[in-house]
Amino acid sequence: MKTHHDHSVILEVRDLTVAYGKVEALHQVSLTLRRGEIVTVIGPNGAGKSTLLAALMGLLPVAGEIVYLGHVQGREREVEYLVRHGMTLVPEKRELFAEMSVEDNLLLGAFDRYRTGHRDQIETMDEVFELFPRLDERRSQLAGTLSGGERQMLAMGRALMAKPKLLMLDEPSLGLAPLIIKEIFRIISALKESGVAILLVEQNARAALQIADYGYVLETGEISLAGPSKELAADRRVIDAYLGLAHKN
């Protein structure tokens, strides 16, 4: 895949607030994401990381401003609209179509492109198989019978079938063995080279900060720290809260 040098802003979030009833899950969160960049949001369980991604994807009602591809998102933020304009989410639960083959899952990832008249699904699928050779071996197997790592690969491959401009990954390392995590993160880094912007939400702060360009720390619904990931990785507070134990191991 070719390298891109366009580093314009793709996503700008200002003062995003999300509430479930009266309980605020996110409070005035702001962040910026550029093309060809990996931005990570780290933080403890329950800090609102998944809520952030669901809100960006149009799955939750929000207050605040979201500017995607230069357009202010109005009230009519709909998942379908965002998918058509290149935003994709790989959710924490993967949300695969369990009783369908790997191949069908991938094809459905390109559903909106098919609907809008694109007929390059086979080529795109070959690119995905190049990235995840394991999926090629399993192409006729049912998604529900895959191992955890393979499911994550399929979820990512399915998202890539939409040829995204912005790929949002929710806890891609969750529940996976260390070797597989390494493999997944290597692929995420490789994806960055193809020019797609990546928003990576992770509890595994160490792995995330290693591949990210910029990082945010989300705690109890608010951004408590932000900075280039190298600086964050060296920050005392981050080391104590998120990297400390991992360093000793």
Partner 1 sequence: MDLQILLLLGQDGITNGAIYALLALALVLVFTVTRVIFIPQGEFVAYGALTLASLQTDKVPGTVWLLLGLGIIVALLDGAKLLRERRYAKLPPLLIANIGVPLIAAAGLFAMPPAQLPLALQVLIAMLLVVPLGPMIYRVAFQPLAGASVLVLLIVSVAVHVALIGLGLLFFGAEGSRTPAFTELSFELAGAPLQGQTILVVVASALLIIGLYFFFERTLYGKALRATAMNRTGARLMGIPPALAGKLCFTLAAAIGAFSGILIAPITTIYYDSGFLIGLKGFVGAIIGGLASYPLAALGAILVGLLESYASFYASAFKEVIVFTLIIPVLLWRSLSARHVEEEEE
What is the contact surface with partner 1 in residues (CB under 8 A)? 57, 59, 76, 78-80, 83-84, 88-89, 91, 93, 95-100, 104, 107-109, 111-112, 114-115, 158, 162
* Pick 19 or 108: Cβ nearer partner 1: 108
Q: How far is the CB of 84 from partner 1 (least distance, A)?
A: 6
Q: What angle do CA 32, 236, 178 make, to 5 degrees?
A: 75
Residue indicated by tokens 């955890």: 148
Q: Of 127, 177, 121, 126, which Cα lies nearest the Cα of 152?
A: 177
Strand order in the sheet with 87-90: 87-90, 166-170, 197-202, 38-42, 214-219, 222-228
Pairing of strands 63-68, 222-228: unpaired
Q: How far is the CB of 233 from partner 1 (least distance, A)?
A: 31
* Pick 98 or 177: Cβ nearer partner 1: 98
* Pick 143 or 187: Cβ nearer partner 1: 143
Q: How far is the CB of 112 from partner 1 (least distance, A)?
A: 3
* Pick 31 or 162: Cβ nearer partner 1: 162
* Pick 162 or 187: Cβ nearer partner 1: 162
CB 116 within 8 A of CB 167: no
* Pick 107 or 217: Cβ nearer partner 1: 107
Q: How far is the CB of 39 from partner 1 (least distance, A)?
A: 20
Q: How far is the CB of 124 from partner 1 (least distance, A)?
A: 13
Q: How far is the CB of 127 from partner 1 (least distance, A)?
A: 18
Q: Of 106, 120, 108, 117, which Cα lies nearest the Cα of 150?
A: 106
CB 4 within 8 A of CB 36: yes
Q: Of 192, 216, 198, which Cα lies nearest the Cα of 30?
A: 216
Q: Of 49, 90, 50, 87, which Cα lies nearest the Cα of 67?
A: 87
* Pick 88 or 204: Cβ nearer partner 1: 88
CB 46 within 8 A of CB 39: no
Q: How far is the CB of 186 from partner 1 (least distance, A)?
A: 24
